[in-house]
Amino acid sequence: MNNGLNLLKMKNKKPQVITNKISNMKKAIIFMTLCFGFAKIHAQNDNPYSVFGYQGKVLKTEEEISGKQYLFLNTNDTTQQLKTIAFNTKTRLIEYIDHNDKIYKTDSLLPTFVLRFLSTDPHAKNYPGMSPYNFVGNMPIRAVDPDGRDIYILFYTSGHTDPADNEMFRASALTRKVDIERSKGFDKTKDVVVMLQVQDMASIQKQVNNVVKTLSPQYGQTQEFSIWSHAANDGPTGTLPTSSNAVDGKQMSPEGWGKIDFNWKNNGTGTNANFFGCNTGNESGWIFKDPSFAQTVSGLQNFSNVTVAGQPTSAFPSKFTNYRQNSENGPGNFINSETNDMIYFQRTYLVAGEHSYGGLNSAASQNVAHPMQLNVNGQTTGTGFQTGTTKKP
């Protein structure tokens, strides 16, 4: 009896069980339909050509499939555990990946304010238009300057028939060397000043190449090139015939100057080239002015972004950069003595002035010097006095 009742109950439940199965199947079909529709819509959103009715498959990178966006830095050094440093732009985590492509360490990115420079560039005074906290002139892709190293290349002509000329140009280069080495930003462990003699203007190319090759690995790139010499509207004059690209025998053409690789720092931005000879910054012509030598040189590709300075008139020796006044030794006496490695010389600058200047032998006689012409990328940008000792008004 009990068995009959139980069997009856089971029989009465069968229709309910079948109904439930049908109901669940409908739900499954509806769910699968919705999923398929969502997948189709999602695929359309990933397909950039869906707006044209094209339903092709979209190929993705591993990063796109995983939903992560990375900035990778890879190394081929298999002796180290590290293979890749990856910055996940979604989680903002730095991931360290080994050679099995496994993440073995993560770091969080520090707040940006602790990534700023805490000290000023030691040569900030040379770049008044930039922030002293500026890194590589805001050109981190184009320029590399990790520690502010500088090379200064100073040339002076020798071999003149008049000994006073030899002393004058050499004393001028020595004065600039001392001024650089005494400047606030100069670090003798990182920076270097090189003084070189020149007689054949074409030899400058080889000498500069030797400096760059020998000293750049330790002292970085070139901050300044300067030359003290006799000169004219076609540029500096040597004491021997120019061996290549000659102009008027002892000068060198712009084509010759354009062949010199100075290895400028910061791609030339903030660097200087100074031509201290007569009329190197003088625009010739009475009505239609021809560009000065310094302006022409500044337009050469190898002087790109470099500030190129030249003298607007004849140049004369002075112990100040802004006034014409001889040293206590008087004119023509610039090197006092030289013993072993010690050179005793008079502070000497070549400054622009007029031939009609009077009382040159008198220490009390003064005359305001003309500022040098400044040029960048083939254009005259202004005037300014060379750095050094100035005469107070």
Q: What's the pLDDT tens digit per position in 128-175?
A: 666 776 655 665 544 545 556 899 999 999 999 999 999 999 999 999
Assess if residue 116 is contained within a domain. no
pLDDT at 6: 39
Half-sphere exposure of 108 (CA within 13 A, CB side): 2
Q: Are residues 182 and 274 in the same domain?
A: yes
Assess if residue 140 is contained within a domain. no
Assess if residue 137 is contained within a domain. no
> For the residues 345-364, what does the mean pLDDT come to?
71
Mode of pairing for the β-strands spanning 150-157 and 192-198: parallel
pLDDT at 126: 66
pLDDT at 305: 96
Q: Are residues 271 and 352 in the same domain?
A: yes
Assess if residue 121 is contained within a domain. no
The whole domain housing 171 covers 147-384
Assess if residue 4 is contained within a domain. no
Q: Are residues 289 and 367 in the same domain?
A: yes
Assess if residue 81 is contained within a domain. yes
Q: Are residues 80 and 159 in the same domain?
A: no
Q: Give the pLDDT confidence of 34-51 residue by residue, as tens digits.
A: 444 444 444 444 566 666
State the Cα–Cα distance between residues 124 and 130, nearest whole angstrom.
8
Report the amino acid identity of residue 54. Answer: Y
Q: Are residues 168 and 314 in the same domain?
A: yes
State the Cα–Cα distance between residues 11 and 4, nearest whole angstrom.
10
Q: Are residues 36 and 181 in the same domain?
A: no
pLDDT at 208: 98
Q: Are residues 219 and 364 in the same domain?
A: yes
Mode of pairing for the β-strands spanning 307-310 and 315-318: unpaired
pLDDT at 365: 46
> For the residues 84-88, what does the mean pLDDT come to?
77
State the Cα–Cα distance between residues 272 and 16, nearest whole angstrom.
96
The structural domain count of the chain equals 3
State the Cα–Cα distance between residues 14 and 9, nearest whole angstrom.
9
State the Cα–Cα distance between residues 362 and 356, nearest whole angstrom.
15
pTM equals 0.64
Identify which has the larger pLDDT, 289 or 335: 335
> For the residues 218-233, what does the mean pLDDT come to?
96
Q: Are residues 286 and 232 in the same domain?
A: yes
Paired with 323 in beta bridges are 368
Mean pLDDT, the chain, rounded, equals: 80
Q: Are residues 370 and 221 in the same domain?
A: yes
Assess if residue 20 is contained within a domain. yes
Contacts of 278 (CB under 8 A, 6+ apart): 230, 231, 232, 311, 313, 314, 315
pLDDT at 327: 83
Q: Are residues 80 and 91 in the same domain?
A: yes
Q: Are residues 55 and 66 in the same domain?
A: no
Q: Are residues 249 and 325 in the same domain?
A: yes
